[in-house]
Amino acid sequence: MLWPHARLRRPRNVELQTLVADARRERPESEAWLGLLESALGESEGGAVWEAAVPQAAADRPVKAPLLFRAKLTVDGRAARGWVRRLLKRAVRVRPRRVDGVALLEAAVCQDDARIDGVAGAAGAEPQALRVLAQLAALPLLQACGRTLTRHLPGTWWEGYCPVCGAWPVVAEYTGLERKRQLRCGRCGTGWAIPMLRCVFCDETNHAKLGYLTPEGGEQMRKIEVCHTCKGYLKGLTTVRPLAAGAILLDDLKTVPLDVAALERGYQRPERPGYALETRVLEDGGGWWRWWRMVEDQPSPGRGA
Ligand SMILES: [Zn+2]
Ligand SMILES: [Zn+2]
């Protein structure tokens, strides 16, 4: 084995540890996913290797394009492949060496499920399992982008998708006395404000077409925003302070009964990403390895255009 001492980490942040323990107790059926998320959050904490991969925001991107649109993320190939391999060993019935870890990260950052399915097919893995794993594998890289690129966010951002990574938000937070609405990305952790009465997914602003579902049992902090035009839904949370980036997906898991309620009433989350990124993930491993990869990374017809 190449990485005898490489282990999956757990988060050291006490608040995150508590949230993971709560989620474990409340949703024991999700243990497999939760174990992977816990590893991704732990990996994200030791973030220097991932922060080194965060690109400059391209100044000439289209006005509605997220910061990672057509960006090049250069990861430490050895560290990135080692991380993906460790996660694969834990989760998916596949020979990890058959999966190109860097290609998998690139497909996950781009939310390109067709490409992830292609990797799964080549490796004999179950596509749905690899899609889930790929998103968690990309979490440390995306969270590093979210932390580092915050200062480059556009002053005004009116889109429903994440201004950094193009994903749809997983939760709307209503914070402070005025209940300001802030959307949160579950991938990179970015938060952005858009007006209260506007559908995140289709920009509907007609009040008669927008509404809320409220949970039974008088739960005051939670509701579900729904749109009758596109049938999209988004979970809402009233909170004093925003969720930590690492806590967003844990909160998403904790509130699965709200998803069930929305789905039963015919609402859904969009399947397609908010914005197609066309991001490249390249590797810089140093030495002969680097030169070898550079040969492989030469542009080929039909790729990255
Ligand atoms: Zn994002
Ligand atoms: Zn809508």
Q: How far is the CA of 181 from the centre of ligand 1 (A)?
A: 17
**Does the pLDDT at position 3 exceed 50?**
no
Average pLDDT over residues 294-301: 48
**Model confidence pLDDT, tens digit, residues 105-152:** 999 999 999 999 999 998 888 999 999 999 999 999 999 999 999 888
Average pLDDT over residues 52-56: 92
**Model confidence pLDDT, tens digit, residues 106-118:** 999 999 999 999 9
Q: How far is the CA of 253 from the centre of ligand 2 (A)?
A: 23
Identify the weakest region by mean pLDDT among 3-7, 181-185, 223-227, 270-274: 3-7
**Cβ atoms of 170 and 236 closer than 8 Å:** no
List, as ranges, residues with CB under 5 A of the ion ligand 2.
199, 201-202, 204, 227, 229-230, 232
pLDDT band at 6 (very low <50, low <70, confident <90, very high): low
**Does the pLDDT at position 290 exceed 70?**
no
**Does the pLDDT at position 301 exceed 80?**
no
* H-only helix segments in the chain: 14-26, 31-45, 48-51, 77-91, 101-109, 113-123, 127-137, 139-149, 248-254, 256-264, 287-296
Q: How far is the CA of 233 from the centre of ligand 2 (A)?
A: 8
Q: How far is the CA of 205 from the centre of ligand 2 (A)?
A: 9
**Cβ atoms of 194 and 160 closer than 8 Å:** yes
The whole-number pLDDT of residue 168 equals 98
Q: How far is the CA of 60 from the centre of ligand 2 (A)?
A: 30
Q: Which ligand is nearest to the CA of 68?
A: 1
Q: Which ligand is nearest to the CA of 185?
A: 1
**Does the pLDDT at position 50 exceed 90?**
yes
**Cβ atoms of 134 and 175 closer than 8 Å:** no
Task: Report the mean per-residue pLDDT for the chain.
Answer: 88
The domain 154-264: what is its CATH number?
Answer: 3.90.1670.10
What is the amino acid identity at position 210?
L
Identify the weakest region by mean pLDDT among 179-188, 210-219, 232-241, 253-262: 210-219
For residue 277, the tally of other CB atoms under 10 A from its CB is: 22
Taking the whole predicted model, whether its pTM rises above 0.75 is answered as yes
pLDDT band at 155 (very low <50, low <70, confident <90, very high): confident
What phi-psi label fits residue 141: left (phi over 0), alpha (psi between -120 and 50 degrees) or beta? alpha
Distances (CA, A) of 53 to 49, 77, 261: 7, 10, 40
Q: How far is the CA of 209 from the centre of ligand 2 (A)?
A: 8
**Does the pLDDT at position 289 exceed 70?**
no
Per cent of the chain over pLDDT 90 is 68
For residue 221, the tally of other CB atoms under 10 A from its CB is: 10
Question: Structural domain boundaries of the chain?
Answer: 14-148+277-296, 154-264
Higher-confidence residue: 288 or 160? 160
Q: Which ligand is nearest to the CA of 188?
A: 1
What is the amino acid identity at position 4?
P
**Does the pLDDT at position 305 exceed 60?**
no
**Model confidence pLDDT, tens digit, residues 176-197:** 888 899 999 999 999 999 887 8
The whole-number pLDDT of residue 51 equals 94
The whole-number pLDDT of residue 247 equals 95
**Cβ atoms of 127 and 121 closer than 8 Å:** yes
Q: How far is the CA of 227 from the centre of ligand 2 (A)?
A: 5
Q: How far is the CA of 252 from the centre of ligand 1 (A)?
A: 15
The C-alpha torsion from 49 through 45 and 136 to 111, rounded to 10°, is: -60
Q: Which ligand is nearest to the CA of 268?
A: 2
